[in-house]
């Protein structure tokens, strides 16, 4: 098993993973890691393979919230569903800060932040490292804020991706954009929080080579769910909820929650 190169290793998730594994019962023990990492010289490619699944913090609060928040999100969605069907834009807009708060809480309490110094290693900041180098990374709140900034930067691109996959372009602009914002907040925000702008980690995520965990599972679930959300639209049932983008949002939420829970439990650490 190729292991962490302490120099090229840039993602704190890698470190966190390693740390987390000391508490969890997985294949390698910290001891063996330490010896292997000292003997192995990891190439650039091996740093990709070493992306570790994100482990949820072991605090009781984190363990509670990790299950409470999906339930709360589901409840919120079900509670607002009728309103969403009748009035998609204001409902999605109003729900955005609530969902943002949920995701923020989740990230701060449950997830390891990007650039958070690993408890064991005193690594030097990389020269190419941006934003999370130095002392900024020590503050998880700043990481969370940066992650939300990144999420909002990425939202227009997600919007365009949705348009490319068939979302209406000339009409329903705010519908699609808000849907993209929700999707980004659900799926990308935790990943930004965990990985920052680490290109190696994002390459692994983008190439679907990252191991499944709550964040990556949520991404895959959310994207697949949103994709499948397009399926009921052409049916001639003439239901109100078939209107754009209710099914997409529904699929995104359902897929995200399912992917997050399954990625964090049943399929944790597995790869495609």
Partner 1 sequence: MPRLKAITTGSVPSFLDVVLNIDEGDESSSLASQDTWLAQMKAKGTGKLVMYGDDTWLKLFPGTFDRADGTTSFFVAVNSFACMAGVGIVLTPHMVPKQREMDGIVSQIYKAIETQDHLKSTLFVLCGDHGMNDAGNHGASSPGETSPALLFISPKLKSLQKNQDSPLPDAEDFQFYSTVEQSDLAPTLAALLGFPIPKNNLGVLIPDFLSIWPKKADQAYLLHQNARQIQTVISAASGTKTFDGALPAESCASPTSDYEQLACEWQGPSNTLMSARVGDDMDSQWALPVVTVMPNLPTQHSDLHLIQLTIFQWLRKAQELMSGMASNYDMSRLILGQVTALLAVIFSLSATIKTVSPTRSLTPLLVISIAYSVMMFASSYVEEEQHFWYLATSTWFGYLTLRGFKRTNTTFPAHLLLTAFPVLASLRLLRAWNQTGQKHAGTPDIVKLFIEPHPHFLWLLVGLTYFWTHRQLVYSFHGRIPVPINYPVMTGLVLAAFTFKAAFTLEDAPELVVEFVKSSLLDFTRGASLIARARAVFVGLGLVAMAAMGFILWEMGTGGRKRSPRKVPAEAITTLQHLYTILALTQSRTANIPLFLIFNLLYWFLSSEIDAPDGQRLSTVELGISSLLLQYASFFAMGGSNAISSVDLSNAYNGVSNFNVILVGVLTYVGNWAGPVWWAFGTVVLLGKIWRRDQRQKRLGSGNNGKRGSEEKEERAEAKQMLEGGQISPFKIYVAVTTLFTAVSVAAVMAACTILRTHLFVWTVFSPKYLYCVAWSLGQHLVVNVGLSGLLFWLGSL
Residues that bind partner 1 (CB under 8 A): 163-166, 169-170, 199, 202-203, 206-207, 227, 230, 233-237
Q: How many helices, marked H, and strands, marked E, lie in the chain?
A: 11, 0
CB closer to partner 1 out of 36 and 129: 129
Nearest distance in Å: CB 15, partner 1: 24
Residues 115, 132: contact at Cβ < 8 Å?
yes
Residues 248, 179: contact at Cβ < 8 Å?
yes
3-state secondary structure of 20: helix
Nearest distance in Å: CB 204, partner 1: 11
Rounded Cα distance, 215 and 111, in Å: 9
196: left (phi over 0), alpha (psi -120 to 50) or beta: left
Nearest distance in Å: CB 130, partner 1: 15
Got the DSSP string for 133-160? STTGGG-HHHHHHHHHHHHHHHHHHHHH
CB closer to partner 1 out of 72 and 203: 203
CB closer to partner 1 out of 44 and 237: 237
Least Cα distance to 249 among 265, 261, 262, 232 occurs for 232
CB closer to partner 1 out of 236 and 240: 236
Residue 96, both tokens: 């955005």
CB closer to partner 1 out of 134 and 207: 207
CB closer to partner 1 out of 106 and 216: 216
CB-count burial class (<10 Å; 0-12, 13-18, 19+) for 108: middle
Nearest distance in Å: CB 150, partner 1: 15
Residue 108: phi, psi to the nearest 5? -65, -40
Nearest distance in Å: CB 197, partner 1: 12
Nearest distance in Å: CB 189, partner 1: 20
């Amino acid at each position: 098993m190729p292991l962490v190169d302490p120099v090229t290793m840039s993602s704190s998730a890698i470190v966190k993973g390693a740390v987390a594994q000391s508490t969890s019962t997985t294949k390698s023990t910290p001891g063996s890691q330490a010896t292997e990492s000292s003997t192995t010289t990891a190439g650039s490619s091996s740093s990709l393979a070493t992306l570790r699944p994100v482990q949820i913090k072991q605090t009781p609060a984190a363990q509670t919230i990790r299950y409470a928040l999906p339930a709360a999100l589901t409840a919120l969605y079900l509670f607002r569903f009728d309103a969403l069907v009748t009035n998609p834009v204001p409902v999605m807009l109003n729900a955005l800060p609530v969902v943002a708060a949920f995701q923020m809480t989740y990230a701060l309490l449950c997830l390891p932040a990007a650039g958070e110094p690993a408890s064991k290693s005193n690594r030097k900041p990389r020269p190419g490292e941006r934003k999370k180098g130095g002392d900024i990374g020590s503050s998880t709140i700043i990481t969370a804020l940066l992650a939300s900034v990144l999420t909002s930067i990425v939202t227009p691109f997600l919007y365009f991706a949705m348009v490319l996959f068939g979302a209406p372009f000339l009409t329903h602009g705010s519908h699609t954009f808000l849907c993209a914002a929700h999707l980004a907040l659900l799926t990308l925000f935790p990943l930004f929080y965990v990985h920052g702008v680490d290109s190696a980690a994002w390459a692994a995520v983008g190439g679907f080579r990252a191991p499944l965990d709550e964040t990556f599972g949520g991404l895959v679930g959310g994207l697949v769910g949103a994709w499948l959300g397009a399926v009921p639209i052409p049916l001639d049932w003439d239901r109100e909820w078939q209107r754009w983008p209710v099914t997409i949002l529904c699929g995104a939420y359902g897929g995200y929650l399912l992917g997050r829970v399954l990625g964090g439990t049943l399929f944790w650490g597995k790869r495609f």
